[in-house]
Amino acid sequence: MAVTTTGAAESEGAGPTAAYGEVKGLLRDAAAGADLRAVLEREAAVQERLGATRDHRAAVRSFLAKEKPSFEGH
C-alpha cells in the first residue's frame, strides 16, 4: 500500500498533535546529548501535563468504548 504525502499529513493532523509535538521535543533533546536524567524528568512532566488534557480524556473514553478516538489538539 502506497502512502501519499497528503494522506500521511492528514493522518498525522488527525492524531494527538500536542503529544506529537512533545515527543519531537524530547527526541530532539536526547539526540542533542541532553543528560538522561534531565530528559526522563522532562518526560515525566510531559506525561503529567498531557494526561490532564481533553484529548487524553477523550482518548481513554474512546478506548474503553472501543471506538476510534478524535483529537482536537487540547
Q: What is the CA 46 to chain-centroid distance, rounded?
A: 10
**46-63 tens-digit pLDDT:** 999 999 999 999 999 999
> Is the pTM here over 0.95, yes or no?
no
CA angle 59, 70, 28 (to 5 degrees): 75
Q: With cut-offs at 50, 70 and 90, classify the pLDDT of residue 10.
A: low
**% the chain with pLDDT above 90:** 73
